[in-house]
């Protein structure tokens, strides 16, 4: 039996409004896989479009890790958000 | 009309409340060309009136309300007008900007600015119209909240009113127009000290524009640019400023527990997304604004203005509160009482820490929210010892009880919600800002340091030069009458819509290294005689509306002129450059023990800033800087004869009685 690699994905900013949900749990092995699964699930943004989001894995921007090939482990917390400004 | 320029009413009025008289103040076209309007023109007039330290609650403290040339034009987000006075919070010059309808109505009533001095014996409001100024009894408004006060005043007029907090001289009382506030610096208390409840204005004067065709063409493109930009066309309309909070959390910029930390574990409960999903009824904006960043929410069955990011951070994370419903309620109460949300929240957080440390028991505790509404009301009415003392602001409390190292203010004004140890350029801005701990007057460098762009948050490289440039641009945009949010088109959209793109990442990496070039551009701004409408359309707006030839460099010079002039006035008021500083919590204590860069290296940044500003090492202004910005040997406008203005309306006819009063 395949071991589950459940990660929590949280949406912020415009992504939260577009996905109409605050979070979702997915079984994904890396960020690219996660993007594919999100598209299969909701068909809101294509994986290519999601590459324009800011992705924070356990507090670190994935661009400082292995970008979209960054591996995910069970229990990881992934935030997807847009660049924001204006206070 | 005493001006050859378009879009101006061409008249400034000087009102003495003591004698209940008024006369024209002979501002001329040379002043308009150099100082344009808003806070910069107010500083020019203030330069005449302030010769030395002034008690903010004395009759000598002038309130200067200035409209801006773009007020009343269809330029996007152009309703912003200004009020300046000596702040009871800082004892320095303060200027506060507001998007209500009063600025436009003041101009329609035939005035570009209103200077108010003296003190009325009785409680009054001023009624400004094309026929003149009337001093009217305001006893029926005494003690009324800002909303009710506005309802009781004539419907058609633009209103600028105070609430109970202003009447009771709360040092951070604000002035409200519609549901928008000129929040910072305590001008509401200066109104109160003069027995002045409100100023209303109404008229039909429509100042002609210099080149309406070109202005219309520019506005079409300008609106298109704003509505298609990811920030002004998407983020701000959908989430308001509140949409920043979750990004602030990720970047460790969310002031938490009186700025002890930069992250709040319960941020999800108080973020802008939560506000949009659970509480937002609709958007609302100022007049002529295509952005519509304002939130409308429901409180006590009534549709009211929703909270901005500052109060959501400062009355949320900064006091360890995760109840968004309470924040919405307090935001409404503060607007109604007429108190600045930022300074109120900063004072409350400081009192909480004093209590936690066993220094002063005010009954305020981190995380305890049940008694806050009552305490806000006590502050506004200076009720009881706690309310009365909190009404003086956090700096006053630190002088009485101690705790200066964690009293989160600059020059006496409480800091905004951005924790500067993770955005050191913003820290510099807070420290050197003319009006004190204000994020906007400080240059809002946090927009480069994580909110928008993502340059190195901790480096000192380039930060001083960019702070100068941003301060100057914001100063001049304010003088023109546009909302500062219109400057976001300054950033090419790809920097925000494609944050992971290789070009965006390169821009983020190299941006700080443009500092030396920016420094040269700042110092020789008058040479930048170019206009790029897609980056900075505001100068073209001013040009087409008024006929004053304005360029990008001209805007930078206008901003620098204003900034230096304000500093000059602050020196007259007794400014000590040693107060260009921050509490030790931000400069000596690391935000993150594992990150040795996570504090504000203020000494280094400030020295670079003084140099970038053309100031001496001791923070005073070099003579050549003053000369460059035409600030040497300014005459006293009040000593000019009215005839120097040319054609004009000399004495307004006897005021007509309003039908509905």
Confidence band of A85 (pLDDT split at 50, 70, 90): low
Confidence band of B653 (pLDDT split at 50, 70, 90): very low
For residue B363, the enclosing domain spans 241-402
Phi, psi of B97, rounded to the nearest 5 degrees? -110, 145
The reply to whether residue B235 touches residue A22, judged by beta carbons under 8 angstroms, is no
Clarify whether residues B388 and B432 are in a common domain.
no
The reply to whether residue B273 touches residue A85, judged by beta carbons under 8 angstroms, is no
The whole-number average pLDDT for the span B421-426 is 98
The whole-number average pLDDT for the span B611-638 is 97
Given this model, what pLDDT does residue B488 score? 83
- Among B273, B307, B451, the strongest candidate for a mutation testing the A interface, having the largest count of A CBs within 10 A, is B273
The reply to whether residue A83 touches residue B499, judged by beta carbons under 8 angstroms, is yes
Flag whether residue B545 sits within 8 Å of chain A, measured between CB atoms.
Answer: no
Report the SS3 class of residue B332: helix
Tens digits of per-residue pLDDT, B627-639? 999 999 999 999 9
Given this model, what pLDDT does residue B651 score? 35
Confidence band of B489 (pLDDT split at 50, 70, 90): confident
Q: What residues in B contact A52, CB-CB < 8 Å?
A: 497-501
Please tell me which residue of chain A has the smallest CA distance to B309: A87
Distance of CA B516 to the CA centre of its chain: 28
Candidates A51, A67, A85; nearest CB to B231: A85
Clarify whether residues B183 and B259 are in a common domain.
no
Clarify whether residues B283 and B142 are in a common domain.
no
Is the per-residue pLDDT at B531 higher than 60? yes
Distance from CA of A36 to the nearest CA of B (A): 18
The reply to whether residue A87 touches residue B439, judged by beta carbons under 8 angstroms, is yes
- Nearest-angstrom CA–CA distance, B50 and B58: 13
Flag whether residue A59 sits within 8 Å of chain B, measured between CB atoms.
Answer: yes
Which position has the token pair 């990150």?
Answer: B595
Is the per-residue pLDDT at A77 higher than 80? yes
Is the per-residue pLDDT at B654 higher than 70? no
Q: What is the CATH number of the domain that holds B508?
A: 1.10.599.10
Flag whether residue B32 sits within 8 Å of chain A, measured between CB atoms.
Answer: no
- Nearest-angstrom CA–CA distance, B343 and B576: 22
Residue B123 placed within a domain = yes
> Among A21-25, B195-199, B469-473, B639-643, which stretch is predicted with the lowest mean pLDDT?
B639-643
Residue B307 placed within a domain = yes
Clarify whether residues B118 and B185 are in a common domain.
yes
Q: Which pair of tokens denotes residue A82?
A: 């847009």
Percentage of the residues of chain B whose pLDDT score is greater than 90: 94
Confidence band of B661 (pLDDT split at 50, 70, 90): very low
The reply to whether residue B246 touches residue A17, judged by beta carbons under 8 angstroms, is no
Q: What residues in A contact B246, CB-CB < 8 Å?
A: 12-13, 81, 84
> Among B88-102, B216-230, B477-491, B635-649, which stretch is predicted with the lowest mean pLDDT?
B635-649
Distance of CA B523 to the CA centre of its chain: 25
Q: What is the CATH number of the domain that holds B35?
A: 3.60.9.10
- Among B231, B243, B342, the strongest candidate for a mutation testing the A interface, having the largest count of A CBs within 10 A, is B243
Distance from the first to the final alpha carbon of chain A: 50
Listing DSSP states for B137-160 in one string gives: E-GGGTT--HHHHHHHS-TTSEEE
- The answer for residues whose C-beta is within 8 angstroms of residue B636's C-beta and 6 or more apart is B48
Q: What residues in A contact B273, CB-CB < 8 Å?
A: 11-13, 16-17, 22
Q: What residues in A contact B502, CB-CB < 8 Å?
A: none
**What Å distances lie between residue B98 and A49, B165, B641, CA to CA?**
38, 18, 32
The reply to whether residue A13 touches residue B451, judged by beta carbons under 8 angstroms, is no
Tens digits of per-residue pLDDT, B141-186? 999 999 999 999 999 999 999 999 999 999 999 999 999 999 999 9
The reply to whether residue A85 touches residue B451, judged by beta carbons under 8 angstroms, is yes
Clarify whether residues B440 and B376 are in a common domain.
no
Given this model, what pLDDT does residue A4 score? 81
Please tell me which residue of chain A has the smallest CA distance to B277: A17
Please tell me which residue of chain A has the smallest CA distance to B234: A14
Clarify whether residues B341 and B442 are in a common domain.
no
Confidence band of B490 (pLDDT split at 50, 70, 90): confident
**Going along B163-253, which residue ranges are E strands?**
175-177, 180-182, 196-202
Is the per-residue pLDDT at B657 higher than 80? no
Distance from CA of B17 to the nearest CA of A (A): 37
Clarify whether residues B393 and B257 are in a common domain.
yes
Clarify whether residues B198 and B264 are in a common domain.
no
Flag whether residue B276 sits within 8 Å of chain A, measured between CB atoms.
Answer: yes
Percentage of the residues of chain B whose pLDDT score is greater than 70: 97
Q: What is the CATH number of the domain that holds B348?
A: 1.10.569.10
- Among B234, B247, B267, B496, the strongest candidate for a mutation testing the A interface, having the largest count of A CBs within 10 A, is B247
- Nearest-angstrom CA–CA distance, B337 and B143: 9
Clarify whether residues B171 and B29 are in a common domain.
yes
Is the per-residue pLDDT at A56 higher than 70? yes
The reply to whether residue B485 touches residue A86, judged by beta carbons under 8 angstroms, is yes
Query: pTM of the predicted model, to two decimals?
Result: 0.95
Clarify whether residues B247 and B357 are in a common domain.
yes
CB atoms within 10 A of CB A62: 20
Candidates B273, B485, B500; nearest CB to A51: B500
Clarify whether residues B363 and B485 are in a common domain.
no
Is the per-residue pLDDT at B655 higher than 50? no
Please name each of the domains of chain A with its CATH number.
6-81 (3.10.20.30)
Specify whether the CB–CB gap between B240 and B311 falls below 8 A. no
Distance from CA of B250 to the nearest CA of A (A): 7
Confidence band of A87 (pLDDT split at 50, 70, 90): low
> Among A38-42, B538-542, B651-655, which stretch is predicted with the lowest mean pLDDT?
B651-655
The secondary structure of B232-265, three-state, reads: HHHHHHHHCHHHHHHHHHHCCCECECCCCECCCC
Specify whether the CB–CB gap between B412 and B392 falls below 8 A. no
Which position has the token pair 């010079």?
Answer: B557
Flag whether residue A65 sits within 8 Å of chain B, measured between CB atoms.
Answer: no
Please tell me which residue of chain B has the smallest CA distance to A14: B235
The reply to whether residue B235 touches residue A63, judged by beta carbons under 8 angstroms, is no
Listing DSSP states for B526-585 in one string gives: GG-----TTT--HHHHHHHHH-----HHHHHHHHHHHHHHHHHHHHHTT--GGGS---HH
CB atoms within 10 A of CB B205: 18
The whole-number average pLDDT for the span A54-72 is 95
Distance from CA of A1 to the nearest CA of B (A): 36
- Nearest-angstrom CA–CA distance, B367 and B459: 34
Specify whether the CB–CB gap between B362 and B355 falls below 8 A. yes
The whole-number average pLDDT for the span B284-288 is 91
Higher pLDDT, B635 or B1: B635
Residue B216 placed within a domain = no
Specify whether the CB–CB gap between B167 and B175 falls below 8 A. no
Tens digits of per-residue pLDDT, B27-52? 999 999 999 999 999 999 999 999 99
The reply to whether residue B273 touches residue A87, judged by beta carbons under 8 angstroms, is no
The reply to whether residue B310 touches residue A87, judged by beta carbons under 8 angstroms, is yes
The whole-number average pLDDT for the span B613-617 is 98
The reply to whether residue B276 touches residue A17, judged by beta carbons under 8 angstroms, is yes
Closest CA to B66 of B22, B33, B17, B102: B102
Q: Collect contacts of B651-655 with beta carbons under 8 A, ≥24 apart.
A: B652/B110, B652/B130, B652/B131, B652/B132, B653/B131, B653/B132, B654/B131, B654/B132, B655/B127, B655/B129, B655/B131, B655/B132, B655/B133, B655/B134
Given this model, what pLDDT does residue B534 score? 86
What ipTM does the predicted assembly reach?
A: 0.94
Residue B247 placed within a domain = yes
Residue B598 placed within a domain = yes
Given this model, what pLDDT does residue B241 score? 94
Residue B475 placed within a domain = yes
- Among B97, B226, B239, the strongest candidate for a mutation testing the A interface, having the largest count of A CBs within 10 A, is B239
Could you say which residues from 5 to 34 on chain A have a Cβ atom under 8 Å away from some Cβ of chain B?
10-14, 16-17, 22
Confidence band of B644 (pLDDT split at 50, 70, 90): low
Could you say which residues from 405 to 434 on chain B have a Cβ atom under 8 Å away from some Cβ of chain A?
416-418
The whole-number average pLDDT for the span B119-131 is 97
For helices B212-228 and B538-546, give the axis angle rounded to 10 degrees.
160
The reply to whether residue A83 touches residue B444, judged by beta carbons under 8 angstroms, is no
The whole-number average pLDDT for the span A63-74 is 96
Clarify whether residues B371 and B500 are in a common domain.
no
Closest CA to B268 of A77, A37, A74: A77
Given this model, what pLDDT does residue B641 score? 83
Is the per-residue pLDDT at B202 higher than 60? yes
Residue B217 placed within a domain = no
Residue B136, Cβ density class (10 Å: 0-12 exposed, 13-18 middle, ≥19 buried) = middle
Closest CA to B70 of B552, B542, B535, B562: B542
Residue B651 placed within a domain = no
Specify whether the CB–CB gap between A46 and A18 falls below 8 A. no
Residues of B221-237 as b/e, b for ≥16 C-beta within 10 angstroms? ebbebbeebbbbbbbbb
- Nearest-angstrom CA–CA distance, B215 and B212: 5
Q: Which pair of tokens denotes residue B319?
A: 């006091």
Candidates A16, A17, A84; nearest CB to B247: A84
Distance from CA of B244 to the nearest CA of A (A): 6
How many domains, chain B? 3
Listing DSSP states for B452-513 in one string gives: SSB--SS--TTHHHHHHHHHHHHHHHHHHT--GGGGGGGS-THHHH-TTSHHHHHHHHHGGG
Confidence band of B583 (pLDDT split at 50, 70, 90): very high
- Nearest-angstrom CA–CA distance, B513 and B600: 19
Q: What residues in B contact A50, CB-CB < 8 Å?
A: none
The reply to whether residue A52 touches residue B498, judged by beta carbons under 8 angstroms, is yes
- Nearest-angstrom CA–CA distance, B124 and B544: 39
Specify whether the CB–CB gap between B543 and B549 falls below 8 A. yes
- Nearest-angstrom CA–CA distance, B283 and B295: 5
Given this model, what pLDDT does residue B645 score? 62
The reply to whether residue A52 touches residue B236, judged by beta carbons under 8 angstroms, is no
Higher pLDDT, B650 or B301: B301
């Amino acid at each position: 039996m395949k071991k589950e690699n459940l990660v929590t994905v949280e949406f912020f900013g415009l992504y939260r409004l577009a996905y109409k949900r605050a979070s979702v749990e997915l079984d994904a092995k890396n960020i690219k896989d996660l993007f594919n699964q999100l598209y299969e699930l909701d068909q809101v943004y294509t994986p290519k479009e999601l590459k324009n989001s800011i992705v924070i894995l356990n507090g670190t921007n994935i661009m400082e890790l292995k970008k979209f090939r960054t591996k995910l482990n069970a229990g990881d917390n992934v935030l997807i958000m847009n660049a924001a400004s204006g206070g | 009309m005493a001006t050859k320029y378009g879009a101006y009413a061409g008249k400034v009025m000087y009102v003495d409340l003591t004698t209940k008289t008024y006369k024209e103040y002979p501002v001329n076209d040379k002043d308009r060309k150099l100082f344009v309007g808003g806070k910069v023109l107010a500083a020019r007039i203030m330069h005449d009136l302030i010769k030395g330290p002034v008690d903010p609650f004395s009759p000598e403290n002038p309130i200067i309300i200035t409209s801006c040339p773009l007020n009343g034009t269809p330029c996007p987000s152009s309703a912003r007008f200004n009020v300046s006075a000596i702040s009871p919070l800082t004892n320095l010059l303060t200027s506060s900007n507001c998007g209500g309808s009063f600025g436009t109505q003041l101009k329609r009533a035939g005035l570009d600015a209103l200077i108010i001095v003296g003190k009325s014996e009785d409680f009054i409001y001023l009624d400004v119209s094309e026929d003149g100024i009337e001093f009217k009894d305001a006893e029926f408004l005494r003690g009324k909240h800002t909303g009710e006060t506005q309802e009781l005043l004539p419907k058609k007029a633009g209103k600028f009113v105070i609430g109970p907090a202003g009447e009771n001289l709360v040092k951070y009382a604000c002035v409200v127009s519609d549901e928008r506030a000129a929040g910072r610096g305590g001008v509401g208390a200066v109104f109160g000290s003069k027995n002045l409840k409100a100023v209303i204005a109404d008229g039909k004067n429509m100042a002609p524009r210099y080149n309406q065709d070109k202005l219309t063409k520019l506005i079409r493109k300008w609106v298109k640019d704003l509505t298609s930009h990811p920030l002004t066309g998407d983020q701000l309309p959908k989430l308001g400023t509140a949409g920043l909070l979750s990004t602030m959390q990720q970047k460790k910029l969310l002031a938490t527990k009186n700025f002890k930390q930069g992250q709040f574990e319960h941020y999800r409960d108080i973020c802008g997304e939560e506000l949009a999903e659970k509480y937002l009824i609709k958007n609302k904006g100022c007049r002529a604004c295509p952005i519509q960043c304002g939130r409308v929410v429901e409180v006590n069955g009534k549709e009211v203005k929703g909270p901005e990011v500052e109060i959501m951070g400062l009355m949320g994370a900064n006091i360890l509160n995760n109840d968004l419903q309470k924040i919405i309620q307090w935001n409404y109460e503060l607007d109604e009482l007429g108190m600045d949300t930022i300074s109120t929240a900063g004072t409350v957080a400081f009192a909480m820490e004093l209590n936690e440390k066993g220094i002063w028991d005010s009954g305020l505790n981190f995380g305890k929210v049940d008694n806050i509404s009552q305490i806000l009301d006590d502050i506004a009415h200076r009720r009881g010892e706690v309310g009365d003392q909190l009404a003086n602001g956090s700096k006053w409390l630190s002088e009485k009880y101690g705790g200066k190292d964690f009293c989160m203010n600059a020059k006496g004004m409480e800091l905004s919600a951005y924790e500067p140890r993770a955005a050191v350029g913003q820290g510099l801005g807070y420290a050197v800002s003319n009006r004190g701990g204000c994020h906007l007057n400080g240059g809002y460098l946090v927009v480069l340091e994580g909110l928008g762009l993502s340059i190195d948050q901790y480096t000192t490289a380039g930060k001083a030069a960019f702070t100068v440039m941003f301060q100057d641009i914001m100063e001049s945009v304010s003088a023109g009458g546009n909302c500062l949010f219109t400057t976001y088109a300054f950033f090419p959209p790809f920097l925000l819509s494609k944050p992971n793109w290789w070009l965006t990442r390169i821009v983020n990496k190299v941006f700080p290294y443009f500092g030396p070039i920016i420094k040269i551009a700042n110092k020789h701004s008058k040479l930048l005689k170019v206009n790029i409408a897609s980056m900075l359309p505001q100068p073209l707006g001013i040009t087409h509306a008024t006929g004053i030839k304005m360029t990008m460099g001209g805007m930078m010079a206008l901003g620098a002129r204003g900034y230096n002039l304000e500093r000059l006035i602050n020196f007259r008021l007794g400014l000590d450059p040693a107060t260009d500083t921050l509490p030790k919590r931000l400069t000596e204590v690391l935000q993150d023990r594992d990150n040795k860069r996570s504090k504000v290296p203020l000494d280094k940044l400030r020295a670079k800033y003084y140099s970038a500003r053309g100031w001496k090492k001791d923070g005073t202004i070099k003579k050549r800087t003053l000369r460059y910005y035409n600030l040497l040997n300014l005459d006293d406008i009040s000593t000019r004869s009215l005839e120097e203005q040319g054609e004009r309306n000399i004495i307004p006819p006897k005021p007509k009685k309003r039908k509905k009063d």
